[in-house]
Amino acid sequence: MIALPSSFRQLLLKELRSLSGLGILALFFGVLFQSVWGVLGGFLLFALLWEGWQFFRFVRWVQQSVLFSRPVSPPPNLYGGWEMVAMGLYRQRRAEQVQLQRLQGENQRLKAALLAHPDALIALSAKDKIEWLNPAAERLLGLKPEDKGKPIEAFIRSPEFIDYLRQRDFSRPLQTYSSINAHQVLDIQMVPYQGNHALLVVRDITELHKISEVRRDFVANASHELRTPLTVLTGYLELMADQAQAEATPWRQPLEEMQSQAKRMQNIIEDLLTLSSIENGGAVEEMEVIDVPNLLLQLEKEVKQLSDGKHHIQFEVDSSCGLYGHSGLIRSVMTNLLSNAVRYTPAGGRIQVRWQCREAGVIFEVSDTGEGIPREAIARVTERFYRVDTARSREKGGTGLGLSIVKHTLEKYEAQLEIESQYRLGSTFRCVFPKKLSYPLKPTND
């Protein structure tokens, strides 16, 4: 036998009791009128009236409670199948209401969080029209609730933002000055969602910008001020070292050590001045055609001289294209990467240099079998003075500024620095320049 659920058995018994009552009532009228057909007709009539009454009560409950009431009220005392349907519908509506209340609560909390956010948040349509904004957008951008439906470029009118919006490349944030306050610096980030819609996030970074400018000015001024006295000290150290060497005094070794440290300090100051010049936009506007194959021919001689035969160095140069830029800065990028490869690759290791011209852009790549970089340190190696191994880096004569110079220089040219490395196995540093900086070179006749 098939075991029926207890709730179903109870409903079935309740329905059978109802039908039994109707049957007894029909039998009474059939006996009264002494007709078998009267019994059957009466039973069918009473059953139809009973089910009609049940249906009427069910429909009225649905209309008055399920469709319009909040919250839904329990169903009336029905029988049989109507009770099953009503209770199932009631439980479903109750679950839906609980879920709806939970979602409404989450929506209210999310909306309150967005309204309280200190950054300007603006929801934009597929056509970059304002759909929603928070109070911070009114404060930072001068927007008002009635501006919904208007294009965002009508309120952020800087040429940089217009280009940023038209290019649709939102992988990087944009920094620009405010349209309503010329002294306010804004950081703008577009976050696409739901197809062509986007969330515009605007942050006030005026104070951070001022701090960054103060830091850059301090580094540049301090480096300039240190250069002259350091030059004087270096000159006297050289004179004293020459005399100590001629007289064979015990001060010879300390003087050589002081010369080495003074030279290192000079290198740091020169790198700081270079970095400061790059950050302030110095020399980048002086664009020219750079014959990169010829430049790499010169650098190959220099890097082999620096290696002193300790490494296997190979250059693969595509002579079909050069680069449009500033020769001093581009040379600095390549020199830093090449000197790092020599400095951090043990004797007997391999260094491979590539210059490739592709459809997507031009690539300068330096690969080595040196010490490599731990995965967790790759994101930080371009920071100023960051060293994976401080003691070993200083022993090798690095200033800790080379990769920072490379990164900032590439940013000026809208180029990318890609780093691939495995600790103790080697590294690859790849500079990817945009196609617009590529310059075709005429083949030379040997």
Q: Say how many Å lie between the first and final Cα of the chain, rounded.
A: 100
CATH number at residue 189: 3.30.450.20
Confidence of residue 297 (pLDDT cuts 50, 70, 90): very high
Confidence of residue 391 (pLDDT cuts 50, 70, 90): very low
Range of the domain at 61: 6-112
Opening angle at CA 300, ends 298 and 306, nearest 5: 110
- Over residues 26-46, the pLDDT tens digits come to 566 555 555 555 555 555 666
Of 279, 301, 322, at which residue does a domain stop? 279
pTM: 0.55
Give me 227's structure tokens.
């250069």
pLDDT at residue 427 in the model: 92
CA 406/CA 409 separation, integer angstroms: 5
SS3 category, 30: helix
Whether 241 maps to a domain, the answer reads yes
CA 177/CA 175 separation, integer angstroms: 7
Per-residue CA distances from 41 to 16, 28, 34, 52, 54 (Å): 19, 12, 13, 16, 20
Task: Say whether pLDDT at 313 is over 80.
Answer: yes
Whether 209 maps to a domain, the answer reads no
**69 and 177 fall within a common domain:** no
> Which residue reads 């031009």 in tokens?
362
Please give the average per-residue pLDDT across 145-151, as a whole number.
86
Per the structure, the count of domains in the chain is 4
Evaluate whether 114 touches 135 at the Cβ level (below 8 Å). no
**87 and 157 fall within a common domain:** no
